[in-house]
Structure 1
Amino acid sequence: METKELGKTGILVSAIGLGGMPMSLSNRPPESQSIEVIHRALDLGITFIDTADSYCKDESDKHHNERLIHKALSSYQGDVSQVIVATKGGLMRPNGSWTRNGNPEHLRQTIRVSFEAFGGNKPIDIWQYHAPDPNYTIEESLAPAKEAVEAGLIRFVGVSNFSVEQIQRARDVVDIVSVQNQYSPWERQPETDGVLKYCEKEGLAFLPWSPFGGSRRHQGLQDISAIAQLAKEKGVSVYAIVLAWLRSKSPAILPIPGASKISSIEDSAKAINVKLSDQEVQRIDQAT
């Protein structure tokens, strides 16, 4: 597996990560299957795993994905010392919906629970503020993250669903290493809103969430002719083409495709060997 530096941290991680969300929502697979998927990802050399406290069914199930990942890492027979797990906090799941909560007291509490969900014996590798809450300033909401870094609960901090101006404000509070915004063939805003260029210039990792368009859209990749045609020409899946397309967009990009089946993470890992020419990238750009 190809590796790359995570922002300017000096830490090398796999150039493609694993997104844990599909393993913990209401249609989740059996736990044993999810653990097998995580173990297979590790076998393939994947050393970056993305999760969140809100990857769960509802509030009664909070932190499910974090605990699942910790269980999988603890039961893996190989070396996991180089694995980086990035989690997030700041979203609530009342009755399975998604709402923002940037209340500093809530964030202090959820950071502590996330720390314990990962075993409580080493700092959280990366904790990301999941989405800015308009009810609180960015400075108020990120103060608990800064405190947690100083207390040894968090190693690195990132942000998610942030604009350039919001990232700049966040960096005035605490050092930021990663930005996680939506980016897919259907959602290309990072190319035009300045966030991708900013991450590249400032040495921040850019983690595109929902790279395949999410559960409602991912099957529609077959209907984008340029992507389907390139997949056929190169003998790979449309998903591998999308991951290669994203990686071609910026050296800052580290895709985190979700998986709940071994075949899915195996397919994503194969994308590391898919190279697109500038002309092929333009074909996809024009088609999307």
Structure 2
Amino acid sequence: MTSSTTNTPGPTGRFSIGGELPVTRLGFGAMRLPTGPGPEREAAIAVARRAVDLGVTLIDTAHLYGWGANEELLAEALFPYPDDLLITTKVGVTRSGPEGWAYDGRPESLREQVEQGLRRLRTERVGLLQLHRIDPKVPVAEQVGALRDLQREGKIGHIGLSEVTTAQLAEARRTAGIASVQNRYNLFDREYEPVLEACEAAGIAFLPWRPVAAAADAGQGAALDTVAAVATELGATTPQVLLAWLLARSPVVLPIPGTASLIHLEENLAAADLRLTDSQLQRLHRAAVPS
């Protein structure tokens, strides 16, 4: 369970993942950072460093992102890491052919991916390790159990899940403590609302990915007009309003917007200081919920 003394409800508050990893509630998703050689890589390193300079203490990456290249990029940019920085990575997906990927939750595969991640991140312990996807071919208890074993060995601090249902979350919690869930969620895509509610009840961090998806993506162009109107009232941008809505939705929500642009990075992080009125929150809710 989390500690009420470290979990504060405001957008600029902090949340203690697993009760012992305090982070600012607005993090950074590193998936979009280019990892190839050349000027784009240098720019990506600059973005990662700027995120930390601006106070970000939660950065999300994964084995899947460039098959470890994203982890290596973050290590190049940020190692040695500040004491308050949490870099969380994910395992459970492996390469399948030249361009494809597949679930792989076999205990031996998870262990190897964790070992690889530790080497790439240049650390002996990852504070939060998330299972990228539950492999339907492997019992949940075996997958989570493998991570629990690594936790007992001191290689993992806390265990998280990604893209899970409430039933899968409950099943996983019977094997090990779960500190976080990373599911797709935003104002216009609330399929996993029950999962967020379960996380809130248990004090589990909820990291929404794709947090600033446009309403147009979901065929809700009219709803986007409402978001734009609220943005105009606040002198903000549409992505900032969408991030502010997430921060206001629940104190366990830790958005991790990603970008390879310094300008967009600073724009996203400025959303932490945006305050939505009760009236604006109600308008956004009504606009995004089908009549």
TM-score, normalised to structure 1, is 0.88
2:118 matches 1:115? yes
- 2: CA distance between counterparts of 1:235 and 1:286? 21
Aligned-pair Cα RMSD in Å: 2.4
Q: 1:223 to 1:5 in 2, by over 3 A?
A: closer
Partner residue, 2:275: 275
Give the residue type in structure 2 aligned to 1:133.
Answer: D
- 2: CA distance between counterparts of 1:29 and 1:49? 22
- 1: CA distance between counterparts of 2:63 and 2:39? 18
Work out whether residues 222 and 228 of structure 1, in 8 Å CA contact, stay in contact via their aligned partners in 2.
no
Partner residue, 1:38: 48
Matches for 1:53-92 after TM superposition, within 5 Å: 53-56=63-66, 62-74=67-79, 80-92=82-94
Work out whether residues 3 and 12 of structure 1, in 8 Å CA contact, stay in contact via their aligned partners in 2.
no
Percent identical pairs in the alignment equals: 31
Q: 2:107 aligns with which of 104, 108, 129?
A: 104
Superposed displacement of residue 221, structure 1: 7.9
Q: Give the match's secondary structure for 1:23.
A: coil
Partner residue, 2:126: 124
Matches for 1:190-209 after TM superposition, within 5 Å: 190-191=192-193, 194-209=194-209
Question: Over residues 109-152 of structure 1, what are the superposed CA-to-partner deviations in whole Å (9 max), with x where a residue is unaligned?
Answer: 101101111113x3111100011111111111112211111111
Of 278-287 and 238-247, the range deviating more from structure 2: 278-287
Partner residue, 1:59: none
Q: 1:63 to 1:221 in 2, by over 3 A?
A: farther
Q: 1:132 to 1:273 in 2, by over 3 A?
A: same
Work out whether residues 7 and 252 of structure 1, in 8 Å CA contact, stay in contact via their aligned partners in 2.
no
Structure 2 alignment gaps of length 5 or more = 1-10
Runs (4+) of structure 1 moved beyond 3 Å? 93-98, 220-223
Of 181-190 and 234-243, the range deviating more from structure 2: 181-190
Superposed displacement of residue 252, structure 1: 0.7
Structure 1 alignment gaps of length 5 or more = 57-61
Partner residue, 2:29: 19
Partner residue, 2:239: 239
Work out whether residues 15 and 252 of structure 2, in 8 Å CA contact, stay in contact via their aligned partners in 1.
no
- 2: CA distance between counterparts of 1:96 and 1:83? 32
Q: 1:49 aligns with which of 52, 59, 79?
A: 59
- 2: CA distance between counterparts of 1:11 and 1:3? 14
- 1: CA distance between counterparts of 2:275 and 2:100? 38
TM-score, normalised to structure 2, is 0.87
Give the residue type in structure 1 aligned to 2:54.
Answer: L
- 2: CA distance between counterparts of 1:276 and 1:261? 26
Give the residue type in structure 1 aligned to 2:271.
Answer: A
Give the residue type in structure 2 aligned to 1:276.
Answer: L
Work out whether residues 14 and 24 of structure 2, in 8 Å CA contact, stay in contact via their aligned partners in 1.
yes
Q: 1:125 to 1:24 in 2, by over 3 A?
A: farther
Give the residue type in structure 2 aligned to 1:206.
Answer: F
